[in-house]
Structure 1
């Protein structure tokens, strides 16, 4: 495929391959809001429809594999996105579609958010898809962004404190031979850490304080989409991680109020 060159004043393009959140706070919806806020034109390939609101997921409907493939193909053919963010992929068949695309587009930076289980407990990735994710998609990732629960699935143990989060991030980067950003937001306490680790490099520990009284639904989607948007704009990976975290923190500290609840602001 011939790659289109971007004119001087043309917006960079990013692609979100993820599920639709009917409540608007996560998934495709959060990704598009994040892309727009960071000056990137957002495109999508929807993998699943979900019926949900901030209190939980009541139903999931998987898109046909061929439809996911065709969405990606049409976006790639016209827009040639500079970066891709993956979220809820749900099945091994969809993971394989995305991995095949990634293998054919090695210049495209791919941020993999390994969405497995919703905060409410709803399963968002089938068991057979976990192996496909690790074996087929992770090798093509510019960055993988698990939370502590997802790290527990990948490692067989859940990091329980700051030191264990650092060790786990290093182990993940070494095992899968790609950079990882291990998010520590699910740890108890007010002091939080996210750890950026590359194979054969010292980890970078990002510290922060928990923001209270804000619904964090969609925070992982927002962060990974922000990193993808910044990569599309030409930032180096470590800088994109730092700026992406800053974008999320700003959204938490200046939230939107909707129906008596406070939610992450994207912009």
Structure 2
């Protein structure tokens, strides 16, 4: 047994919990640990949730959220940060204000709106605040296709419409944009990436025929944040995150009776 002391870079996830352990903050922590990054956490809200669906949500009071930010930033050297489910307009604004207040490294905004089972995790009234307050703070925004449609108020049915949506999100203030294609129906999953310098590329993988996809978006954004915290470039971090997700989704866990979780530790 080695006595070597490891020092991991420190990252932050700002999200809701998942009592079922497959998505949300729990997925973030597991992913960062697997990627050799230490995860600190601001809990924005609590969910009663399992692989079947979300039974209830409880956004936390403003005071304890502010105190979590203060505690973390008083002690840790945060290299990169991600946001996940933020529930409502008040919490989107609160998180945006704290991101402006503290040094939190590069910011990845995962604009979580709907859980895998269809439950709402961001109220419709919060989308405008997300666009006006949080997205302009983002080094990277990672919407899936339905989220990109909500943010841009446009239908996305073709590759050109994906590119147009990414440009519009960049115009809204995001430096880099990754539109995830997992909600499509093709045998090939295509993610589109538009970088700050105007260059772009597609990431393609074969679709895995499985229901064990709970927390895929959280996992992807956390893997990207982990790579950023380790000092990788944005493009390298995005490619790493996609590779990590594709590897672990092919090594499933048999857990629960619905959309099961990923096997975050099965990473080589």
TM-score by length of 1: 0.91
Deviations 1:197-220 (A, max 9, x none): 135513211111111124111000
Q: Distance in 1 between matches of 2:127 and 2:24?
A: 19
Q: Assess if the C-alpha contact under 8 Å between 2:215 and 2:261 holds in 1.
A: no
1:106 offset after TM fit, Å?
A: 5.1
- Equivalent residue for 1:5? none
Pairing 1:243–2:245 present = no
Q: Assess if the C-alpha contact under 8 Å between 1:99 and 1:136 holds in 2.
A: yes
Q: Distance in 1 between matches of 2:134 and 2:13?
A: 15
Q: Distance in 2 between matches of 1:86 and 1:190?
A: 29
Pairing 1:133–2:145 present = no
Q: Distance in 1 between matches of 2:75 and 2:103?
A: 17
1:127 offset after TM fit, Å?
A: 2.6
Q: Distance in 2 between matches of 1:203 and 1:246?
A: 18
Within the candidate set 13, 18, 23, 2:15 is matched to 18
Three-state SS of the structure 1 residue aligned to 2:254 is: strand
Deviations 1:234-264 (A, max 9, x none): 0111100000000000111112222577631
- Equivalent residue for 2:61? 64
1:107 offset after TM fit, Å?
A: 6.0
Q: Assess if the C-alpha contact under 8 Å between 2:137 and 2:173 holds in 1.
A: no
User: Which moves more between the two structures, 150-159 or 232-241?
Assistant: 150-159
User: Which moves more between the two structures, 89-98 or 64-73?
Assistant: 89-98
RMSD of Structure 2 on Structure 1 (CA): 1.8
Three-state SS of the structure 1 residue aligned to 2:65 is: helix
Q: Distance in 1 between matches of 2:159 and 2:39?
A: 35
1:47 offset after TM fit, Å?
A: 0.9
Q: Distance in 1 between matches of 2:56 and 2:172?
A: 34
Number of equivalences: 260
Task: Please list every run of 5 or more consecutive structure 1 residues that lacks an aligned counterpart in the other structure.
Answer: 1-7
- Equivalent residue for 1:104? 101
User: Which moves more between the two structures, 224-233 or 171-180?
Assistant: 171-180
Matching of residues 158-197 of structure 1 within 5 Å: 158-197=155-194
Change (3 A) 1:107 1:86: closer
Q: Distance in 2 between matches of 1:57 and 1:260?
A: 14
Three-state SS of the structure 1 residue aligned to 2:42 is: strand
Task: Please list every run of 5 or more consecutive structure 2 residues that lacks an aligned counterpart in the other structure.
Answer: none
Q: Assess if the C-alpha contact under 8 Å between 2:78 and 2:104 holds in 1.
A: no
Deviations 1:211-234 (A, max 9, x none): 112411100000001111111110
Deviations 1:89-123 (A, max 9, x none): 11222222221222233561111000111122211
Three-state SS of the structure 2 residue aligned to 1:95 is: helix
TM-score by length of 2: 0.91
Q: Assess if the C-alpha contact under 8 Å between 1:170 and 1:199 holds in 2.
A: no
